[in-house]
Amino acid sequence: MRIILLGAPGSGKGTQSKLLMAKYQIPQVSTGDLLRAAVSEQTELGLKAKAAMDAGQLVSDEIVLGMIRERLSKDDARNGFILDGFPRNLAQAEALDPLLKEMGQPLTAALLIDVDKASLMQRLTGRRTCKSCGQVYNVYTHPPHTEGRCDECGGELLQRSDDHEDTIGNRLQVYEAQTEPLIAFYGAQGILCKTTGDGEVEDIFARITGLLEDAARGNIHD
Ligand code: AMP
């Protein structure tokens, strides 16, 4: 399966990607995670990306496309991948098509996780991520058993620096202006599937796998 997950920040793309990765044994390719790793390692690329990320703006297409090209050429992406947070604008989507064509890896589906805008702010301000294993919690809707500690591995839970209210507003605006047009882009390619991202994680996952397995058989529901 070669999947793009579309959806606003906070729609649950990361959570669903981790479940998809385990079920289909394909890697999650998150440009946000790759960029955060570069920032924390203080690589040259990370230093270039940091200001845009802190402001809730997009990092340059050139940086992100370079990262994607390199990541998709790794062996573990040969049997499929989940793109999470990429593409983020039309220029990236238009650059991805020839890259996948060159690799002989056409997309199975672009799946939109649709969450109403009012819920997104609570999801984002409440989000905490385990520093050690990446497990995601929400202090309002899915708190850990022990405050500040991961249920899975006991690691420290951190709030992302761009999950504060002032930056979140910018990220949601950027999503509407630059990423939402991709819904029509993949709709026109005939590979768009949609589900609501409201409800329990397991129920959303069941809907998503149903849609993706249909899409893999050539049956797209939009
Ligand atoms: P995310 O974890 O996907 O919410 O991404 C966090 C931040 O990383 C975004 O607000 C952007 O600053 C940057 N970023 C992630 N993916 C991309 C992308 N495909 N294009 C440009 N910037 C990105």
Q: Looking at residue 165, what is its pLDDT?
A: 84
Q: Decide if 53 contacts 39 (C-beta within 8 A).
A: yes
Q: pLDDT digits over 145-186, tens only?
A: 999 999 999 999 999 989 988 899 999 999 999 999 999 999
63 lines ligand 1 (CB under 6 A): no
For Cα atoms 12, 13, 17, give the angle at the middle one, nearest 5 degrees: 120
Most informative mutation of 33, 39, 60, 88 for ligand 1 (most atoms within 8 A of CB): 88
Residue 218 has what DSSP assignment?
T
In CATH, what number does 2-27+74-216 get? 3.40.50.300
The more confidently predicted of residues 221 and 21 is 21
Q: Looking at residue 118, what is its pLDDT?
A: 82
Of all residues in the chain, the percent with pLDDT exceeding 90 is 89
Average pLDDT, the chain: 94
Strands of the sheet with 81-84, listed across from one edge: 28-30, 81-84, 2-6, 109-114, 192-196
35 lines ligand 1 (CB under 6 A): yes
Distances from the Cα of 208 to the Cα of 3, 23, 90, angstroms: 11, 12, 24
Interval between CA 218 and ligand 1 midpoint (Å): 30
171 lines ligand 1 (CB under 6 A): yes
Strands 127-130, 136-138: pairing is antiparallel
Q: Looking at residue 139, what is its pLDDT?
A: 94
Interval between CA 219 and ligand 1 midpoint (Å): 30
For Cα atoms 157, 28, 185, give the angle at the middle one, nearest 5 degrees: 115
Interval between CA 92 and ligand 1 midpoint (Å): 12
Q: Please report which residue ranges of the chain form alpha helices under DSSP H.
A: 13-24, 31-40, 44-54, 61-72, 90-103, 117-126, 165-174, 181-188, 201-216
Distance, CA of 119 to CA of 154 (rounded, Å): 28
Ligand 1 atom at minimal distance to the Cα of residue 31: 16
Q: Concatenated DSSP letters for 107-133? A: -SEEEEEE--HHHHHHHHHHEEEETTT
Q: pLDDT digits over 59-93, tens only?
A: 999 999 999 999 999 999 999 999 999 999 999 99
86 lines ligand 1 (CB under 6 A): yes
Q: Region 27-39: what's the mean pLDDT?
A: 95
Q: Is the CA virtual torsion 93, 97, 103, 106 positive or negative?
A: positive
Burial of 12 per CB tally in 10 Å (0-12, 13-18, 19+)? buried
Tokens representing 56 are 């809730």
pLDDT at 38 over 90: yes
Q: Looking at residue 166, what is its pLDDT?
A: 83
Query: Among all chains, which residue has been given the structure tokens 């203080």?
Result: 42
53 lines ligand 1 (CB under 6 A): yes
- Please list the active-site residues: 13, 88, 127, 160, 171
